Each structure stands twice: as C-alpha cells, then as structure tokens.
C-alpha cells in the first residue's frame, strides 16, 4: 500500500515527544537538539515515502537515525564539557521543586515577547530552563543531566526568572 | 498554564513548527509540491466554502436519516483492539484508525457507557474508555495501587505492516500522553485470529486468555488484569515473554500520586514532612519505597483497630509494582520501540521483551 503524508504525520506526532526528549538529553543544548530533530525527520520523510523502503518499527528506526546523527554531532565537538561561566552563583539552599516562582507578573505579556527575552539567555541557562519548563524535568533530574549540584540548578533558574521579571517590570 | 510555560511550549520544540520546517525543506528539495503542502493550509478556507460544505453536510444528513441510504458503514475493519481492565471490551477499527464498533465482552462491561466512542481515533477511544471505567469505580488512577490494562491487537488477514504501524502509533501516542492511559501499566500484545476465536469460544477476554496461557493457569481462574498482576510471580513471568510490551507510568506521574497520598496522610492528621523531604530528591526506586511506606501508613489510618493494619506485606514494594526501574522520563517502555536501539533514553526502565511482529 502506498504510504501517504498522513501516515508520516501519524508517525511524526506519535514519536515527536520521545525523540525530542532523547535528543535534548543527549546534546543538552536546545538549538543543537532542534536542528538535529529537523534533520532526522526530514531524512525520515524522504525515506518513508519511498514505497520500497522497509520500516517495521518507525520509532525504533527514528531512534537509530538519531544515534547516527548524534555520532556525527559528537565528532569534533566538546559539548560534553558544559562551560559554566556563572560558577560564582550563591546557591539557594533547600528550595522545593514546586515552589512558586511567582511568574504572575509575566502573565500580562505575550508569549512571543517572553520568548524573545528567553532566547537571548546564554547556555547552559537556556537549556536548563527548557529542561524545567518545556520537558517538566525536576531539579534532581536536571542536575544529573547537566552534571551540576541541584542547588546550582535551582539558583540558575531563579536568577533567570528574576532577570526576566525585572526586565518587564521596568 | 501560565504565560511563562506557555511560551516554552509554543517556542521550544514546537511540533507544528518543526513539521512545517520539514515540509518546507521537502518542497525546496523537490520532494513535495506546493499543492501538497497540506499543513494548516487546508484550514484557510473561505466563508463561502465553509457555508457550502455545511449545506452539503446537512443535506447528506437529511438523506441518510430519512432511510434513503443504507446506514451500515462501508469501511473495512482491519483490527480488533481488545481492552481488559476488569470490564472487557473489543474495539473494531477501520483503516482510518477509527472505531467502527464497540463490543462489551463481559458482565462488568455492561455497566459502562460507551456512547460516543464510535468514530473516535482508536487511541483516544481507549483513553476515554479508561476514564469511564475509572468513573464507574473499577480503578482509581490517583491512588497508590498499580492499575493494569491489557491491550491486545488482533489484525485481520491481509493487513499491511504500514497499517499495523499506524495502529501501534495511535495507541502509543495515548499511552505516552493520554490523561488516563499514561497513569497505568499498559500491557500490549498481539493475538492471532485463531487465539481470538478460541478465547471468544471460551468466553474469556483475549488478553487474559493469552496471559493465563503464559503462566499455565487453568482457564477462567483469573477474572481481571488487576487480579492477575497482583501476583508478583505472574508479572515476572509475563515480563520475560517476547510478545509482551509493558509500559509503566512515568516517574513524574508516580511522584504526583505520592504527593497526593502525602496530602491525604496529612489530612488524616499524620506528619508527612519527612516523606515529602525524601521525595524531593528521590529517584524512582526511592519513590517506590516511599510509596510502600505511605500505603502502610494509610492502611493504618483507615483501620486503626485492626492489629494487622501494620502488616508490612500490605505495602510490599513488589506487590504489583513493575520495576519501572530506572526510567527517569517518559513512560517506561520497551519492546518494539527498542528494536536494537534502546528506547530513547539510556536510563530506560523497560520490562519484557516486546516486539512488533
């Protein structure tokens, strides 16, 4: 039976959450993971619509493609050494994961405006925020991912959010 | 959702934007014509077109309901998706992955309203059904007990691999993100038509029929998935079966239900501070330990006069808990998706050896 774009979209929507998380975890960099994601789905699209291609399990297939892409990505990159230019942070002790960051002040702004400011932030802060607010990882998980103490991660999130609030409070 | 989170959801890893970028590249590379850029462009219909379509639909409805046309669906059934929780159902699915018929398989199913499930995509229909089963009180997705649903797919002869994949993916999407399914342990299997006929002949839901065969139980000795998986040895045995794929709730969902349970404990006058502190930095194994402790405490508060209320067996960490193991993120999943490459996370807590044959 001929494969259609509707088939591709079904696969795309079913696999996107897993693949995006996977790439983000492996690269720990938002921009890189997004680029790789697009690259992989484009290659998959091209292959999938060819009738003669055999893809028995699309998710497993996509993950294998991701591994190949990551292999290429790692070559010549030293992204595993996360450079933390902000190591002078004064960590905030014992802050609960669900503590209210009091972001109400941002609620009157458009999401685009908020994003404009967020994407100006440096790495690894930007990716830490994405781990927290896009992928809903908790602080211990983020700490493990970025190989930093939990307190440092919490501190970075607080600092970034406060910076954002101050920006719009002016 | 507050604006901050919304902003992240709309701009970081936005599914629709990435899809549009993929299509745009495909177009630039001559893989896709402008006309076939179907995303969202279809929705830009003018008002005249919408009104015209509405008029045609109304006319078609009037003709159909007046008895001028046959009302039986012309679509072809490609698979039966059987659901067993305690009530059991069969969904007949067509090639568009939509439900064309829902059959109530056992007595418990008779009390569940299945109105509105026909016509839904299969994944959503299953998720909706689980919500209704919960409303009817057969399961509680927010308590500390593991709930199981057995999903068995029986494909019609001649169904292509592409169609099978589409069905798998429709279900998988809901297993990972569905409001009810993502909170459950989902046991997936494929059945042959012979097995299905045998099970129907013996009036045993197909999922349980196969599971019982796996652990050599006499026919009919197990009445529900919950009862079956309450026995740790049954679960362990099933986990080793190649045809089974088990997906457990994500660590986040388990954390949520433990937090709910802590709140219940506090409501009963118990101090849950220490448990909450431990939960804050707990990995999955520690979470399951905390869960067991809370189960014991909750049982004790429910039955204060009962000398057995502190029975450690009641909170046995093994009792029904899958070793959701070490999966720190999306629902722990195994099997077909792993096809040699893992499931997307080195920390995956998969069970069993599912495949996608």
Mean pLDDT over B325-345 rounds to 38
pLDDT for residue B42 is more than 90:
no
pLDDT for residue B52 is more than 80:
no
Chain A: residue whose CA lies nearest to B121:
A10
> Could you tell me if B14 lies within 8 Å of chain A, comparing CB atoms?
no
Give tens-digit pLDDT for A83-109: 454 544 444 444 555 445 666 667 777
pLDDT at position A100:
53
Which of A19, A33, A112 lies closest to B344 in CB terms?
Answer: A19
Percent helix, percent strand, percent coil in chain B, to nearest 5: 50, 15, 40
Express as a percent the part of chain B with pLDDT over 90: 15
pLDDT at position B355:
36
- Residues 6 or more apart whose CB falls under 8 angstroms from that of A116 comprise none
Cβ atoms of B238 and B157 within 8 Å: the answer is: no
β B148-155/B99-104 pair status: unpaired
Flag if B169 and A59 touch (Cβ within 8 Å): yes
Flag if B343 and A138 touch (Cβ within 8 Å): no
CA distance B233 to B236: 5
> Could you tell me if B165 lies within 8 Å of chain A, comparing CB atoms?
yes
Which of B26, B170, B338 lies closest to A42 in CB terms?
Answer: B26
Domain boundaries, chain B: 16-66, 77-247, 251-334
Flag if A136 and B252 touch (Cβ within 8 Å): yes
Cβ atoms of A89 and A128 within 8 Å: the answer is: no
Flag if A111 and B10 touch (Cβ within 8 Å): yes
Chain A: residue whose CA lies nearest to B338:
A60
Lowest mean pLDDT among A132-146, A150-164, B256-270: B256-270
pLDDT for residue A44 is more than 70:
yes
> Could you tell me if B250 lies within 8 Å of chain A, comparing CB atoms?
no
What does the block give as tokens for A78?
């030293």
pLDDT at position A101:
61
Mean pLDDT over A113-120 rounds to 87
Which of B7, B329, B342 lies closest to A111 in CB terms?
Answer: B7
- Residues 6 or more apart whose CB falls under 8 angstroms from that of B120 comprise B98, B99, B128
> Could you tell me if A140 lies within 8 Å of chain B, comparing CB atoms?
yes
Give residue for tokens 């009810």. Answer: B180
Mean pLDDT over B98-102 rounds to 92
pLDDT for residue B69 is more than 50:
no
B164 or B221, greater pLDDT = B164
| Interface test with chain B among A27, A63, A125, A126, by most B beta carbons within 10 Å | A63
pLDDT for residue B189 is more than 60:
yes
pLDDT band at A76 (very low <50, low <70, confident <90, very high): low
List the beta bridge partners of residue B153: B81, B190
B239 or B11, greater pLDDT = B11
pLDDT at position B273:
87
Flag if B12 and A30 touch (Cβ within 8 Å): yes
Buried b (16+ CB within 10 A) or exposed e, B39-78: eeeeeeeeeeeeeeeeeeeeeeeeeeeeeeeeeeeeeeeb
pLDDT for residue B339 is more than 60:
no
Mean pLDDT over A31-45 rounds to 92
pLDDT band at A62 (very low <50, low <70, confident <90, very high): very high
> Could you tell me if B132 lies within 8 Å of chain A, comparing CB atoms?
no
pLDDT for residue B203 is more than 90:
no
Q: Which of B207, B248, B252, B257 is nearest to B227 (CA)?
A: B207
> Could you tell me if B280 lies within 8 Å of chain A, comparing CB atoms?
yes
Shortest Cα distance, chain B CAs vs residue A39, angstroms: 8
pLDDT at position A43:
92
Q: Of the spans A55-59, A119-123, B328-332, which averages the highest pLDDT?
A: A119-123
pLDDT band at B82 (very low <50, low <70, confident <90, very high): very high
pLDDT for residue B141 is more than 90:
no
- A residues 71-90 near B, CB within 8 Å? none
Give tens-digit pLDDT for A117-126: 898 898 899 9
> Could you tell me if B4 lies within 8 Å of chain A, comparing CB atoms?
yes
pLDDT at position B61:
57
pLDDT band at B326 (very low <50, low <70, confident <90, very high): very low
Interface A–B counts its CB contacts (< 8 A) at: 163
Mean pLDDT of chain A: 81
Give tens-digit pLDDT for B229-285: 878 888 888 888 778 888 888 777 788 888 888 888 888 888 888 888 888 877 777
Mean pLDDT over B151-156 rounds to 93
Flag if A17 and B330 touch (Cβ within 8 Å): yes
β B99-104/B88-94 pair status: antiparallel
A8 or A108, greater pLDDT = A8
Flag if A21 and B170 touch (Cβ within 8 Å): no
What does the block give as tokens for A85?
């230019």
> Could you tell me if A96 lies within 8 Å of chain B, comparing CB atoms?
yes
pLDDT at position B75:
67
Mean pLDDT of chain B: 73
The distance from CA B330 to its chain's CA centroid, rounded to whole angstroms, is 13
Flag if A21 and B330 touch (Cβ within 8 Å): yes
- Per CB-CB distance under 8 Å, the chain A contacts of B15 are 12-13, 16
> Could you tell me if A30 lies within 8 Å of chain B, comparing CB atoms?
yes
pLDDT for residue B207 is more than 80:
yes
Mean pLDDT over A125-146 rounds to 91
What is this model's ipTM? Answer: 0.84
Chain B: residue whose CA lies nearest to A139:
B281
Which of B161, B330, B340 lies closest to A60 in CB terms?
Answer: B340
Lowest mean pLDDT among A24-33, A110-119, B90-99, B341-350: B341-350
> Could you tell me if B185 lies within 8 Å of chain A, comparing CB atoms?
no
- Per CB-CB distance under 8 Å, the chain A contacts of B345 are 21-22, 25
Chain B: residue whose CA lies nearest to A105:
B3
The three-class DSSP label of residue B202 is: helix
pLDDT for residue B132 is more than 80:
yes
Which of B6, B22, B340 lies closest to A41 in CB terms?
Answer: B22
pLDDT at position A78:
52
B231 or B99, greater pLDDT = B99
Shortest Cα distance, chain A CAs vs residue B163, angstroms: 9
> Could you tell me if B161 lies within 8 Å of chain A, comparing CB atoms?
yes
Flag if B340 and A56 touch (Cβ within 8 Å): no
- Sorted by where each starts, the structural domains of chain A and their CATH numbers stand as 5-75 (1.10.1740.10), 98-168 (1.10.10.10)
Flag if A9 and B340 touch (Cβ within 8 Å): no
Mean pLDDT over B99-112 rounds to 90
What does the block give as tokens for B124?
């959503």
Q: What is the DSSP string of B241-283?
A: -TT-EEEBPPHHHHHHHHHHHHHHHHHTT---HHHHHHHHT--
Strand ordering across the sheet containing B77-84: B99-104, B88-94, B77-84, B148-155, B185-191, B245-247, B351-352
pLDDT at position B45:
44
Mean pLDDT over B108-128 rounds to 91
End-to-end CA distance of chain A: 60
| pTM, 2 dp | 0.48
């Amino acid at each position: 039976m001929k494969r259609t774009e509707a088939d591709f979209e079904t696969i795309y929507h079913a696999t996107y959450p897993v693949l995006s998380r996977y790439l983000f975890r492996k690269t720990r960099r938002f921009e890189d993971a997004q680029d790789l994601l697009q690259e992989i789905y484009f290659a998959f699209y091209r292959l999938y619509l060819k009738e003669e291609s055999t893809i028995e399990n699309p998710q497993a297939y996509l993950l294998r493609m991701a591994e190949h892409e990551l292999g290429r990505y790692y070559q010549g990159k030293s992204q595993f050494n996360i450079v933390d230019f902000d190591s002078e942070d004064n960590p905030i002790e014992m802050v609960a994961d669900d503590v209210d960051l009091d972001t109400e002040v941002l609620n009157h702004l458009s999401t685009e405006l908020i994003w404009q400011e967020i994407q100006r932030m440096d790495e690894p802060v930007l990716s830490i925020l994405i781990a927290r607010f896009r992928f809903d990882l908790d602080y211990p998980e983020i700490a493990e991912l970025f190989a930093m103490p939990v307190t440092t991660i919490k501190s970075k999130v607080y600092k970034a959010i406060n910076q954002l609030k101050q920006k719009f409070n002016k | 959702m507050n604006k901050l989170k919304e902003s992240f959801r709309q701009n970081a890893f936005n599914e629709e934007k990435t899809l549009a970028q993929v299509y745009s590249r495909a177009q630039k590379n001559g893989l896709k014509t402008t006309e076939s850029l179907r995303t969202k462009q279809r929705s830009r219909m003018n008002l005249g077109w919408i009104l015209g379509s509405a008029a045609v639909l109304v006319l078609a409805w009037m003709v159909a309901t007046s008895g001028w046309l046959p009302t039986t669906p012309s679509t072809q059934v490609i698979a039966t998706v059987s659901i067993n929780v305690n009530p059991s159902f069969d969904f007949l699915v067509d090639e568009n992955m939509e439900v064309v018929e829902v059959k109530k398989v056992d007595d418990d199913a008779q009390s569940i309203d299945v109105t509105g499930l026909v016509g839904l995509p299969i994944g959503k229909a299953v998720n909706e059904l689980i919500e209704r089963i919960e409303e009817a009180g057969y399961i509680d997705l927010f308590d500390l007990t593991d709930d199981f649903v057995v999903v068995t797919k029986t494909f019609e002869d001649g169904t292509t691999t592409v169609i099978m994949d589409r069905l798998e993916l429709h279900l998988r999407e809901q297993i990972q993100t569905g409001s009810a399914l993502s909170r459950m342990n989902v046991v997936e299997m494929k059945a042959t038509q012979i097995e299905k006929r045998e099970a129907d002949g013996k009036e045993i839901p197909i999922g349980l029929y196969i599971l019982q065969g796996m652990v050599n139980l006499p026919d009919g000795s197990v009445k529900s998935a919950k009862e079956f998986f309450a026995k740790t040895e049954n679960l362990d045995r099933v986990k080793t079966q190649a045809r089974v794929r088990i997906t457990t709730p994500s660590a986040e969902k388990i954390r949520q239900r433990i937090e709910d349970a802590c709140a219940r404990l506090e409501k009963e006058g118990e101090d849950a501070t220490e448990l909450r502190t431990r939960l804050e930095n707990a990995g999955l194994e520690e979470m399951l330990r905390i869960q067991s402790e809370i189960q014991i405490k909750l049982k004790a508060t429910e039955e204060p006069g009962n000398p057995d209320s502190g029975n450690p067996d009641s909170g046995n960490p093994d009792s029904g808990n899958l070793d959701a193991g070490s999966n720190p993120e999306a629902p722990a999943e195994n099997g077909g998706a792993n096809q040699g490459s893992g499931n997307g996370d080195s920390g995956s807590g998969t069970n069993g050896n599912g495949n996608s044959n």
